[in-house]
Amino acid sequence: MPAYRPQDIEKKWQDHWQQHHTFRADNSSDKPKYYVLDMFPYPSGAGLHVGHPLGYIASDIVSRYQRLQGRNVLHPMGFDSFGLPAEQYAIQTGQHPAVTTEKNIETYIRQLQQLGFSYDWEREVRTSDPSYYKWTQWIFLKLFNSWYNLDTDRAEHIRTLQEKFAENGSAGIRAAGDDEDRHDFTAGQWQSFTEKQKLAAILPYRLAYQQDTYVNWCAALGTVLSNDEVKDGLSERGGYPVERRLMPQWNLRITAYADRLLKGLDTLDWPDAVKEMQRNWIGKSIGAEVSFPVQGHKGTVIKVYTTRVDTIYGATFLVLAPEHELVDTLTTPDQRGAVDEYIAATKRRSERDRMADVKTVSGVFTGAYAQNPVDGTPVPIWLADYVLAGYGTGAVMAVPSGDQRDYLFAKHFDLPIPAISDAQKDLDQQADATKEGRYINSGIVNGMGYKEATATLIAYLEEKGLGKGKVNFRLRDAIFGRQRYWGEPIPIYYKDGTAYGVAEADLPLVLPEIDEYKPTETGEPPLGRAKDWKYKGQYEFELSTMPGWAGSSWYYLRYMDPHNADRFVGEDVEKYWGQVDLYMGGAEHATGHLLYSRFWYLFLKDLGLVTANEPFQKLINQGMILGVSEKIFRLGHALPASVSDSSASETKAALDAPFTKLKFSSMEFPLDFPTKDVFVSADIRDRFRDTAGVSDGTLTALHVDISQVENNKLDLDKYLASHHDLKDVVFICAGGYWQNGNFTAFPFGGSDVFLTNSEVEKMSKSKYNVVNPDVLIDKFGADALRLYEMFLGPLEQFKPWNTNGITGVGTFLKKFWRLFHPEDGALAVTDEPASPAELKALHKVIQKVAQDIEKFSFNTSVSTFMIAVNELTALGTRKRAILEPLVVLLSPFAPHLAEELWEELGHFPGSISYAQYPEFREEYLVEANVTYPVAINGKVREQRQFAATATAAEIETAILESDFLARFGEGKTPKKVVVVPGRMVNVVV
């Protein structure tokens, strides 16, 4: 038999699994089910790097282990194949996004299959397939045709709302959403409404509705972006400016489910950090909504939500979001210019930036005043970008003595900061939000404590019609429209300007072909380019498409029944699989995908279409495999102190000047560098200073492709070959410099090696530190890569990658092979009975691996295998009774090697996946004898063996009757003998 050659073995078994559908899950099995799910990937053009498979390997180990435990395992894979990157590539190249996506998916499938994952590929889904997004559109129509009844605490079909309107009009209806967006009418008026009027009345109740909404608008990309797609006011993709803009958008009323989403977290076996992120994102608070009348604008009030109504007497100003609907009305003529300028600046900042920036104080006075509703005092109205229109009412009751951000604002603009409690301290230095003490300067609640004051003020405001107690949530409704092409068409058409849902029988509404993938010249979304694209040939379709998270919010259900043309998932099939037992994915999806998926599931539960209470029972967030980046340092010029920003010609001259002097190692000498492209070796960067006619030099770190570096030494030829834009570049190291391929030594000597600086960072193509799994699989095999990724450390932790470490795992697999094939020869397994030492080694593995997989501690399992192989190699083990169960134990981790050995042992090819997990027998771990250290007065003198069943009295007698005291007791009489069972013996003399 030849030596262990993983490449041959692995290809053989991957083909076998595919041809024989080895991992096909049965939708009607008598076995107990187990559903293991990976967050399915977006198929980018870069393919997988070694960081991506970490969670996939872990979930595959669990899947294979559960099959060995006799369970019917559903372990599917698919692709989140709509998205902006493919569309941007289409805009640049003219190639249809479907072509790019298909090519990328082929790469992903090849890479996933060569890693040996036990996916049921017959269940593959792609969100961009019309047979899939037909049902995404179908769910949207269900949302469009539903409202949330607060009396029944669930979603209902819109017809139940219409029945209520016909009977009593709008009176008494308690529905999720903003009552201010709705109009009051009687049953008689409802009956007299036209169809258009009725639909207009229903729209503010729908769970999918249109509304003018503030969005992140990127003009260069021609689309709305989510907060996650905006960084520092620029689009994450392309770095284009993004501004906040009020636009008509489709929204989903996730806020209707806020309380249920919050309560459901208590039932989930999820990481505490993820649950806490969702709790904070949902942000339930109990407080009051207060109306501040605006002076000089009769009937106009500013509504504020506050959790500290007890502090209302300390509200010395109001702060509105710059986007607040009343800003234009309230701004006085003399403040108009300043307000307009401030609003323009705010539009260039994302919501996330505004929320995160707690250091910068900015704002502008509108010139208008409101009236404090409890004492009538004038309250100036300001604008500030730390208040967001999409959160709460878009207005803040500023109490500078009790809130630090309000305090800093008041200090900055010299606004009053009155104390409101006798327990507040150091108000000349900071705010004090204490709820202790008694209220002062607070009118009707003077002398009261927190609880009494809160209740008194809410009662007063409700009596006067100026406020009410209210539960509020930070969660906002989800913006659902994107002005893009490569997404699910929203199944809406317009008749006389009114939105109608496409008939379910007409689904899917297929994405039309268009000539270009960018917005039209008139600013319409790309779908505006579609020719003759109308519903029933006459009605205009909605031109926005769904966001990327639409298809991923329910894909786990489609995996259960992917080929059902009549239903999104069959009833009996859904009942059988229920919820996902184990979901593996990144924590970065906590407030996006994971929240939206729960929302959609709860909605489908209300409609009676799913049976569990939550979609994902257990969630594990795998850590990130970090790359080791290599960096070099480029020397640039700082400007001379005499050069001003306005001196453009001088500035350019300074920046373009070549290096003429070098001060290094206390020596200064002339250089003749006709270039400003100078790079500095990592080992000298801290001692290097440029004095080329400017005040200082600056060193900029640049990433280098890790393939051009070995042991921190940069291969200059490779680097320059990949950077044709660098000419006459100079590389300076400790001992000299290279220019045009020639090395010039410094007079004081030193190393002639140009070194890079290593830094652990996120593995990313942009950092040139990506390790391609294809290369490692070609060299070491997929089983070695699987084991090594698990061996790096605990699954949930971040771990730096070191390719050198995989060699040790490869050596282990060869040693495992040689247990069966001594010296890489023929199979040498015998049927001899196993020895106690061999049985002990085996059953330690049986016990430990089961415990480790149940608690997802895969790194310790790999260590256990390595120890066992060393022990069995030392024992010369060749016995089937030991090696056959050992192969089963290894199979979830190294399935290709296990399949090969399983077949050689005489089993049906490919059958190891459905073998039985070996039974653990504790008696094989019980030691017959125990070795005791024996001491005199605590000092160990020798080791002695006793039977494991020996009592303390028997051990004491044996010691006293032996020659131990004669040899070590110096003739002294023993006072007592202390026996610690299983541990030690101490003779006290």
Question: What SS3 class is residue 748?
Answer: coil
* DSSP H helices in 539-620: 549-552, 555-558, 571-577, 593-606
**DSSP, res 217:** E
Tokens of 813: 């697999």
Question: What SS3 class is residue 79?
Answer: strand
Using CA atoms, how far apart are residues 607 and 590, in angstroms rounded to an integer? 25
Element (H, E) at 626: strand 625-637
Residues 25/75, Cβ–Cβ less than 8 Å: yes
The dihedral sign for the CA sequence 893, 897, 901, 902 = positive
The dihedral sign for the CA sequence 328, 332, 336, 338 = negative
Q: What is the dihedral of CA 851, 853, 854, 857, to 10 degrees?
A: 80
Using CA atoms, how far apart are residues 88 and 92, in angstroms rounded to an integer? 6
450: phi then psi, degrees, rounded to nearest 5 = -60, -55
**DSSP, res 591:** T
Nearest to 34 by CA among 1, 59, 8, 7: 59
The amino acid present at 215, given as its one-letter code, is V
Residues 871/838, Cβ–Cβ less than 8 Å: no
CA–CA distance from 809 to each of 66, 535, 770, 804, 892 (Å)?
Answer: 24, 60, 21, 10, 16
DSSP annotation string for 128-167: TSHHHHHHHHHHHHHHHTEEEETTTTEEEEHHHHHHHHHH
**Radius of gyration for the alpha carbons in the chain, expressed in angstroms and rounded:** 36
DSSP annotation string for 512-559: PP-S-SS--TTS--GGGG-TT-EETTTEEEP--B--THHHHTSHHHHT
Using CA atoms, how far apart are residues 589 and 597, in angstroms rounded to an integer? 11
Residues 281/595, Cβ–Cβ less than 8 Å: yes
What lies within 8 Å, CB to CB, of 474 at 6+ separation is: 280, 281, 282, 283, 284, 285, 391
The amino acid present at 906, given as its one-letter code, is G
- Report the Cα–Cα distance between both ends of the chain, in Å, rounded: 64
7: phi then psi, degrees, rounded to nearest 5 = -60, -40
Nearest to 362 by CA among 371, 349, 372: 349
Using CA atoms, how far apart are residues 517 and 540, in angstroms rounded to an integer? 19
Using CA atoms, how far apart are residues 709 and 716, in angstroms rounded to an integer? 9
**Count of CB atoms within 10 A of residue 199's CB?**
17
Using CA atoms, how far apart are residues 282 and 474, in angstroms rounded to an integer? 5
Question: What SS3 class is residue 473?
Answer: strand
Beta strands in 849-906 (DSSP E): none
641 burial via Cβ count (<10 Å: 0-12, 13-18, 19+): exposed
CA 588 to chain CA centroid, nearest Å: 1
Is 134 annotated as belonging to a binding site? no
Using CA atoms, how far apart are residues 157 and 192, in angstroms rounded to an integer? 22
Residues 306/397, Cβ–Cβ less than 8 Å: yes
**DSSP, res 25:** P
Peptide bond into 822 cis (omega under 30): no
The amino acid present at 562, given as its one-letter code, is P
Residue positions forming the annotated binding site: 765
Residue positions forming the annotated binding site for ATP: 765
